[in-house]
Structure 1
Amino acid sequence: MILANLSHMTIVGWESRYREILKEFGYSRNNDNQSCRLLDSILPKKVDLVKIRRLIENKPVFIVGAGPSLPSSIPILKKYKKITKIVADGATQAIIENGLKPDIVVTDLDGDIKSLKKAGRTNTIMIVHAHGDNSEKLGFAKNFKNCIGT
């Protein structure tokens, strides 16, 4: 269930889960907030969310992570090249090195920066998550052609 008001949307139960995440990873809420504001200031234009909807609504989608099955999944991804691929940053390098194009990359900029930059120069939609320990890397996002910050 999503509750909404005019200024923002909140997922019910998110606040308590967020506090758990902060504690588990040792993150600071203030640092998270500062990183979010920094990313928001870096991203001058907004990506039209309709682009994402066109890629995924009522369509099959591959979600690609950097797990142990990634190498054996590459031939399948090549066979179905036209199916939308949402790729975690850790899998971006393998996808690109195998001649595939990610449609969407979800990243906190902890993956291979060279591969992320390469994907970011294309029409790939880059979804960049700001958090308290990646503020020094957020500047990379300003060079991404299509970028959404979270």
Structure 2
Amino acid sequence: MIQWEDLYERICRELVIDCKSDYTSTKVLSAMAIHQVTFIKRINSFRNGNFIIYGPAGKIIERKEKGVVSVVADSAIDRFKNFVPDIIVTDLDGNLERIMSCWKDGTVLCIHAHGDNIKRIMEFVPALEGDFLGTCQSSKTENLLNLHGFTDGDRAVKLAQFLEAQTIRLDGFDFRTPVSKYGSRDKEKKLRFAEMIILDSARERNGKEFNFIPEVF
């Protein structure tokens, strides 16, 4: 099993991430996460459910699957047309207008703090008035969870694990062909880390069902 502290150090080294900035972002988000104890009780309604996690590489989603908790990794939100997902996992670099619209319609937001999104946190999060789940990737901080995830996709898997998912299914995950407006080598590295974390999570689940959609992975 991967030790998060070791992996986090490696991620910071290979992607030239300033861990001090990560910690600053964590403190900023923590100060806004004023209802976390109450909010964690709220998301317990999803506990022990069957989860489907949507990445950006799949087709348009026309309708919600019955009896399944739908979790969207940030950039995949544009795949949804006729309904809103149960949970969006985001570091706020996606379609913020759509994310806010989903939140108003009842979607749970899981918002992540890292060094590059401090400005977006300060601009976007106050309007939520503490009605979100906050996560971080640096050291443990009051009011935030460290799910031991790095990208929105693998963090969504970690959230499902935190909620003791009975099953986890991935839809629209492609670790070989980045869906990114940047198309950078850093994006490719991030996807490799995401894949590593997700596969480690699959092993950690000790035989519980974990399906990769065949045409994607």
Under TM normalisation by the shorter chain, which class is it?
0.7 to 0.9
Q: Which stretches in structure 1 are left out of the alignment for 5+ residues?
A: 2-11
Offset of 1:16 from its aligned partner? 0.7
Q: Which of the numbers 6, 9, 13 marks the counterpart of 1:23?
A: 13
Partner-residue secondary structure (3-state), 2:113: coil
State TM-score, norm by structure 1. 0.78
State TM-score, norm by structure 2. 0.55
Measure, in 1, the Cα distance between the counterparts of 2:12 and 2:64: 41
Give the 3 Å change call, closer, same or farther, for CA 79–121 of structure 1 in structure 2. Answer: closer
Q: Which of the numbers 65, 69, 76 marks the counterpart of 1:80?
A: 65
1:52-109: CA deviations, max 9, x gaps? 232241x222111111x233xx24xx162552201111011331xx111111110000
Name the residue aligned to 2:40: 49
Name the residue aligned to 1:132: 115
The answer to whether residue 54 in structure 2 is matched with residue 70 in structure 1 is no
Offset of 1:17 from its aligned partner? 0.3
Identity of aligned residues (%): 29
Give the 3 Å change call, closer, same or farther, for CA 79–90 of structure 1 in structure 2. Answer: closer
Measure, in 1, the Cα distance between the counterparts of 2:103 and 2:16: 30
- Given that 2:64 and 2:83 are in contact with CA atoms closer than 8 Å, whether structure 1 keeps it comes out as no
Name the residue aligned to 1:105: 88
Measure, in 2, the Cα distance between the counterparts of 1:79 and 1:52: 19
Measure, in 2, the Cα distance between the counterparts of 1:42 and 1:50: 18
| Matched positions, count | 132
* 38-47 vs 102-111, greater mean Cα deviation: 38-47
Q: Which stretches in structure 2 are left out of the alignment for 5+ residues?
A: 136-217
Q: Which of the numbers 107, 115, 132 marks the counterpart of 2:98?
A: 115
The answer to whether residue 24 in structure 2 is matched with residue 34 in structure 1 is yes
Offset of 1:44 from its aligned partner? 2.6
Q: In structure 2, give the amino acid aligned to 1:37.
A: K
1:87-132: CA deviations, max 9, x gaps? 111011331xx11111111000011111112122232111111001
Q: Which of the numbers 133, 141, 163 marks the counterpart of 1:148?
A: 133
Give the 3 Å change call, closer, same or farther, for CA 94–16 of structure 1 in structure 2. Answer: same
Give the 3 Å change call, closer, same or farther, for CA 79–18 of structure 1 in structure 2. Answer: closer
Measure, in 1, the Cα distance between the counterparts of 2:67 and 2:121: 30
Give the 3 Å change call, closer, same or farther, for CA 21–70 of structure 1 in structure 2. Answer: farther
Alignment RMSD (CA, Å): 2.0
Offset of 1:138 from its aligned partner? 0.4
Name the residue aligned to 2:140: none
